[in-house]
Structure 1
Amino acid sequence: MESKKLIMNYDTVALDDENSALVIIDQTKLPGKMEILRLTNQKDIWEAIYFLKVRGAPAIGVAAAIGVYLAAKEIQADDFDDFYKLFDQAKDYLASSRPTAVNLFWALNRMDSVVKANRGKSVSEIKELLHNEAIAIRKEDIWVCKQIGEFGLTLVKPGDGILTHCNAGQLATVKYGTATAPMYLGHERGYNFKIFADETRPLLQGARLTAFELFESGLDVTLICDNMSATVMKNGWVKAIFVGCDRVAANGDAANKIGTSVVAIVAKRYNIPFYICAPTSTIDMSTKTGADIKIEQRPAEEVTEMWYKERMSPEGIKVFNPAFDVTDNDLISGIVTEYGIARAPYTETLKDIFQKKEKFKDSF
């Protein structure tokens, strides 16, 4: 009898170059149905990002890089200016899919830089360079997440209880995840962590995705409703909190899935360290503070109707549905990156992280 293929054995996001397709897991169908999408149309790729079929800042960045490469691959132009005009339109189109996750813009701008830096080359050569860059971005994500896991492990001890919010797991990246990377590496090394996963209303990424992937991978994970996090902290069951993020400002303020700031405030009350796990690609030094981060507003139906057999609120009720909130830097014990752990004052230590990145950027 053939054994079931586990979720961790699938690629979250990949390129099928032969068939000119972006390959993703449709995360809106999880955990009930495992469906692989092969997207060849730019509109379908845009919608996959917008409708959260592919989600998580790192995975969005990789998907955008592959997506804009596929757009470039289809451009019929021999002249650089003609090619770049169409490439730029494709880049801007994908950039319009979601406003908060900085990895989306980081990846697209990185691809754009490849084009601009090779103006003197033929269009076919530029397309090949774009292919190589998209593959490099995907490969780097695996290395980055593993490094975050290694640094994160230095902050906890075997047997610790760890709480996380939303999904910053493998489903949000290419492999390991960000916030879950210490958990996966610890599991491989026999740390026997006790994980608590917030369900994460209204889209339930914690219930549908984090709990799913950790449980299927054999970790000790307990699902809790968002409003239960204070109880497990007060009970002494949580020794550290690891969450991902979609954008870190230069002062250390961090935008992550709505509800994250509540977790951070409660953690402060119970003296539990609260860590942001962030690739340097998620740190936006051009954004001074969290007040400058644009917060995406999502459709009201996600609150009033999604997941319910029947509508669960009055017709016509007003709904406020921000996708993210900003955790103030004074609530954050440390920002775990692939080049080390930044601590307050973040305006200085985040600069140090980027100096390390510049020094060692080609080492892996």
Structure 2
Amino acid sequence: MVNLQSRSLRVYADALEYLDQTRLPQAEEWVRCDSPDAWQHAVKHLAIRGAPLIGLSAAFVLAQYAARHPESEWQAVSDRLRATRPTAVNLMYCLDAMEACFAQGANALAERAKALFEEDRALCQRMAERGADLLASGDRVLTHCNTGALATAGVGTAIGALAIAKQRGIDLHVYVDETRPLLQGGRLTAWEMADLGIPYQLITDSMAASLMAAGKVDKVMVGADRICANGDFANKVGTYMLAVAAHYHQVPFYVVAPYTTVDPACATGAAIPIEQRDGAEVRGAAGAFGEVVWAPSDAPVWNPAFDVTPAKLVTAWILDTGVFDSAAIARGEHLRGWR
């Protein structure tokens, strides 16, 4: 019996299932995950992805492990999970919340994981509604990576705003960056746009600036994996060049994320750890379609999973707690009420 379910996660009493996001859009395949090792493998291979979903799934894996191994060292397992994805702070937020319950036992961990899941649903709804408030019929919106229901427990972050706008009858046209190197935009966001019934066109990442120069983009909306105290933020690599292009072409650039993505302890983007991934992801591609290699097999590769966008390039930060401009960020208003 499923206890909790989102678009890409099913939680049972003793295990969870995830929708393998490496198989989309060709196949919707649910995979059982019943151990920390299985979770780490899924996250490293991006079968489980999206900063909020990574944190939530880790919470359930830890709670279920604790229920099966009441006498083991839970902290060591939590530390292993924490080290899997160093950039996205949502993972740290969820594991911090779980560790605070260790003294109360396994049942408390299970209840805390459930509360985190429900919290994320509510956060998604609030930030998506705030984002939709900034959209108008006829807007042409450019987005990057995948920030929809696949990546969260709820409607999503940036794509959540598009989904709420659609529900309100706001007519949009969305440009979807394919998002190198694993094509999360081309595979996942395009799939979600079709599912939501929102008209879209898929572009390569390198086409975005030309699209803006042609006057075809009204707004850019992206998600975030970590927002610093000064407003700098990390997101899927390629976001920074979008922000530079948007700034040059005077296109509003919005970051949509929950307060759980804000890291008050991280002063600036220079302090964000950036995950480096396997060079094979750039030399070729693999997925439900098979595997192809287009570069020399020994080609040296630099493959950061994320880049950092300076706060000065952002028009506004859309959080569940409010919409903040650069002056509000400078005053630290996005940090007030942070738990």
With the shorter chain as reference, the TM-score category is: over 0.9
Contact 1:339 1:357 (8 Å CA) reproduced? no
Tell me, in whole angstroms, the C-alpha distance in 2 between the residues paired with 1:72 and 1:58: 21
Counterpart of 1:107 in structure 2 is 94
Count of residues paired in the alignment: 332
Counterpart of 2:10 in structure 1 is 14
Say yes or no: does 1:138 pair with 2:132.
no
Counterpart of 1:121 in structure 2 is none
Match runs of 1:198-277 below 5 Å: 198-277=177-256
Q: In the TM superposition, what is the alpha-carbon distance from 1:355 to its structure 2 partner?
A: 2.5
What are the superposed Cα offsets for residues 178-209 of structure 1, whole Å, 9 maximum, x if unpaired?
A: 01111000111110111111000111000000
Tell me, in whole angstroms, the C-alpha distance in 1 between the residues paired with 2:215 and 2:294: 34
Find the partner of 1:313 among 295, 307, 324: 295
Give the aligned residue type for 1:170: A
Contact 2:70 2:106 (8 Å CA) reproduced? no
What are the superposed Cα offsets for residues 304-345 of structure 1, whole Å, 9 maximum, x if unpaired?
A: 121475420113111000000000110011111001012213
TM-score (structure 2 length as normaliser):
0.94
What is the aligned-residue identity percentage? 37
Say yes or no: does 1:355 pair with 2:336.
yes
Give the aligned residue type for 2:334: I
Contact 1:250 1:346 (8 Å CA) reproduced? no
Kindly name which structure, 1 or 2, has the bigger radius of gyration based on alpha carbons: 1
TM-score (structure 1 length as normaliser):
0.88
Tell me, in whole angstroms, the C-alpha distance in 2 between the residues paired with 1:11 and 1:208: 16
Unpaired stretches in structure 1, ≥5 consecutive residues: 1-8, 78-82, 119-125, 359-364
Match runs of 1:1-364 below 5 Å: 11-17=7-13, 20-77=14-71, 86-116=73-103, 118=104, 126-307=105-286, 309-345=291-327, 347-349=329-331, 351-356=332-337
Structure 1 residue runs of 4 or more that deviate by more than 4 Å after TM superposition:
none
Unpaired stretches in structure 2, ≥5 consecutive residues: none
Q: In the TM superposition, what is the alpha-carbon distance from 1:132 to its structure 2 partner?
A: 0.9
Contact 1:252 1:346 (8 Å CA) reproduced? no
Contact 2:67 2:106 (8 Å CA) reproduced? yes
Contact 2:145 2:178 (8 Å CA) reproduced? yes
Q: In the TM superposition, what is the alpha-carbon distance from 1:54 to its structure 2 partner?
A: 0.7
Give the aligned residue type for 2:85: R
Aligned residues: CA RMSD: 1.6
Structure 1 residues 196-205 or 174-183, which shifts more? Answer: 174-183
Contact 1:47 1:97 (8 Å CA) reproduced? no
Q: In the TM superposition, what is the alpha-carbon distance from 1:217 to its structure 2 partner?
A: 1.9
Q: In the TM superposition, what is the alpha-carbon distance from 1:347 to its structure 2 partner?
A: 4.7
